[in-house]
Amino acid sequence: MRKVWIFVSTVGEDPSAKAELRRELLAARRALSPGAAGAAAEALARHALDLPELARARTVAAYVSVGTEPGTRALLDALHRRGIRVLLPVLLPDNDLDWAPYDGPVSLAEVHRPGMMRLLEPVGPRLGPDAVTGADTVLLPGLAVDGRGMRLGRGGGSYDRVLQRLAKAGAHPALVVLLYDDEVVARVPEEPHDHPVQAVATPSGVRRFG
């Protein structure tokens, strides 16, 4: 596993600090070999499945990993086999997210959108953007998390909308981000709309935040 420790100071609301950190983290992900990425995905699934937030959940909002993101396919299949209802996102034209159920690998279809990498999305009935408010646990993609639980996303804003929707609905699911080991960093730049997560799962284990 790569060992590239990144320590970043908070720079108020300066968006350039986030952009620079994203560039560094994405470059590190691109340097991963397919073998290392596959082994990390298997280890990540094992540790994430031990989370009580997943063990006791009836509905989990998750996502299908793309590119060099920490792999989620093994985790999705394990949750589905347990009988847990899994919701997966469908990207809308305005970058908001609709949701549809995951019913195993055959329920996914490849989607190509201009200017974006290949996506795998569920083909089942769309349940609407508010369906996420019924989840007991939400698994979030990201690029980093710090010791306060502050998560750094990719900057597209889709999951900022999800978190805002949860807050508006008064829903309080457990929030868990899935990352590589070295993406748990000292500190990430924070903006007013950023929301902390309760835990991070990595290939080496789980860390919780107060």
Give SS3 for 48. Answer: helix
Lowest model confidence (mean pLDDT) among 46-50, 184-188, 192-196: 192-196
Instruction: Please say whether the beta carbons of 173 and 51 come within 8 A.
Output: no
Based on the number of CB atoms within 10 Å of its own CB, is 140 exposed (0-12), middle (13-18) or buried (19 or more)?
A: buried
Whether the pLDDT of residue 5 is over 60: the answer is no
Residue 198 lies in a domain: no
In our burial notation (b when 16+ CB lie closer than 10 A, e otherwise), range 152-180 reads bbeeeebbbbbbebbeeeeeebbbbbbbb
Question: What pLDDT, in 10s, does the model give residues 107-128?
Answer: 999 998 776 668 899 999 999 9
Percent of the chain clearing pLDDT 90 (strictly above): 76
Residue 62 lies in a domain: yes
Residue 207 lies in a domain: no
- The structure tokens listed for 110 are 């490849």
- Domain of 104 in residue numbering reads as 15-45+58-181
Whole-number pLDDT of residue 115: 66
CB within 8 Å of 62: residues ≥ 6 apart: 72, 75, 76, 79, 86, 87, 88, 102, 139
Residue 172 lies in a domain: yes
Lowest model confidence (mean pLDDT) among 46-50, 58-62, 139-143, 188-192: 188-192
Q: Which residue stretches of the chain are H helix?
A: 15-30, 34-49, 52-55, 73-81, 158-169
Q: What CATH number should be reported for the domain holding residue 91? A: 3.40.50.10420
Domain count, the chain: 1
Residue 9 lies in a domain: no
Which has the closest alpha carbon to 7: 190, 204, 184? 184
Residue 197 lies in a domain: no
Percent of the chain clearing pLDDT 70 (strictly above): 91
200, amino acid identity = V
The pair phi, psi for residue 178, each rounded to 5°, is -110, 120
Provide the 8-state DSSP code for 178: E
Cα angle 204, 207, 210; round to 5: 175
pTM: 0.89
Whether the pLDDT of residue 4 is over 90: the answer is no
Whole-number pLDDT of residue 116: 67
Residue 64 lies in a domain: yes
- β-bridge partners, 90: 98
Whole-number pLDDT of residue 15: 63
pLDDT band at 41 (very low <50, low <70, confident <90, very high): very high
Based on the number of CB atoms within 10 Å of its own CB, is 104 exposed (0-12), middle (13-18) or buried (19 or more)?
A: exposed
Residue 20 lies in a domain: yes
